[in-house]
Amino acid sequence: MSTPLLIDTDPGCDDALALAFALEHPALDVVGVTSIFGNASTADTTRNARSILELFDRADVPVAAGADEPLLADLDTAEHIHGPGGIKGDLPDPTPATEPVDAHAAQFIVDQAREHGSDLTLAAVGRLTNVALALALEPDLPDLLDEILIMGGSAFEAGNVSPLASANFYGDPHAARRVVRDTDPTMVPLDVTQYSGLPASWIDALPRDTPRSAAVYEWATYYSDDDLDRYGIETAAIHDAMALASLVDDDLLETEAHFLEVGADAGLAQGALAVDLQGTRGEKANGRVALGVDAERYQDIVTETIDRALD
C-alpha cells in the first residue's frame, strides 16, 4: 500500500529530482504539490512544479501556489545556485492541465490533511512559510497527519547560507521556529544530506537524448565547480530526495528524539537549529532529527527509481 504524500517544495534542481523520485516510486502516492519561494520566487517555483509534473506525465497531481514572501524576514532567493527561474534544464511550458487550484497552499494543506487524515505525510522540503500558515488555520494539523517530514536545518554541520543555518530555515526563520516547535516533525538536516550526493558514475552515464533524461542530468549537476570545491564533494547535494527516500526505507536514516528549537533573531542566530543533545533545557523531545545515513543505500534507492522514470 502506498503512502499518500503532499509535497511542499520550491523547485529548484534538487527539489525537481525529489519530485521525480516521488512520482515514480510505487510506495509513494503524491496527492498534491504546494509551492513556496526559495530557490526562486513563488511564481517561478509554481511554474517549475507544473512543468515537472507535465514532463513526467502527471498532470493529474494538483498544484497549489503558496506564500510570496517570508512571515517577517526579507525575501532572498537562490537563482545564482539553481539557474535562471530557479531551475536548470529545458522544461516544457506548463499547460492549462496543471493550472493551480483556487485555494492558497496553506488552505490546501489543511484540506488534504482533513481528507486523508492520519494516512497523509506532509513533506516540507522548502521554506516553511506555507506550513506555518496552515498551522495558523488549523492548530491541530499535526494531529491530523501521519507525519510531518522536514528537509532543513543544520544540527552540527556548518550551514550553507550562514555559519549556522541552512537555506530553508534561514529563508523564513520565524516560520521554521513555529513549525519545528509545534509539529513534532522528523527532520532531515544538512548533517546527512550535504555529503551524500548521487554517484558520479551514474550521472556521467545518464542518457541525454530525451527531454526527461536531459533535464535529470542538468538537475544532478547543478552545483558549479566552485560549489563542489567549497564543500569538498564530487557531486551536487540532492538534499530533498534523501528526505523522500526515507519514506520508503525505514532503515535509511538514523534518527534521535531531542528537544529542537530554531533561532529567529537576525544575525548568526537566524535560522540556526539547536538540538539539545544533553537535555540541558529540561524540555521533553519535540521531534526527531536524522544524524546518520546509509549513503550507499540512499544512492541505490534514488538512482534505481530515477532510472525507471527514464525508461
Each of the 311 residues of the chain gets a pLDDT tens digit; together they read 799 999 999 999 999 999 999 999 999 999 999 999 999 999 999 999 999 999 999 999 999 999 999 999 999 999 999 999 999 999 999 999 999 999 999 999 999 999 998 999 999 999 999 999 999 999 999 999 999 999 999 999 999 999 999 999 999 999 999 999 999 999 999 999 998 899 999 999 999 999 999 999 999 999 999 999 999 999 999 999 999 999 999 999 999 999 999 999 999 999 999 999 998 988 999 999 999 999 999 999 999 999 999 98
* CA–CA separation, 235 and 168 (whole Å): 21
Host domain of residue 153: 3-310
Question: How high is the pLDDT of residue 243?
Answer: 97
Catalytic residue ranges: 239
Handedness of CA 85, 49, 90, 161 (dihedral sign): positive
- Distance, CA of 37 to CA of 22 (rounded, Å): 20
| Assigned C-alpha cell, 263 | 533561532
CATH number of the domain bearing residue 163: 3.90.245.10
- The DSSP bridge partners found for residue 288 are 186, 257
Q: From CA 132, how far away is CA 110, in angstroms rounded?
A: 11
Number of domains in the chain: 1
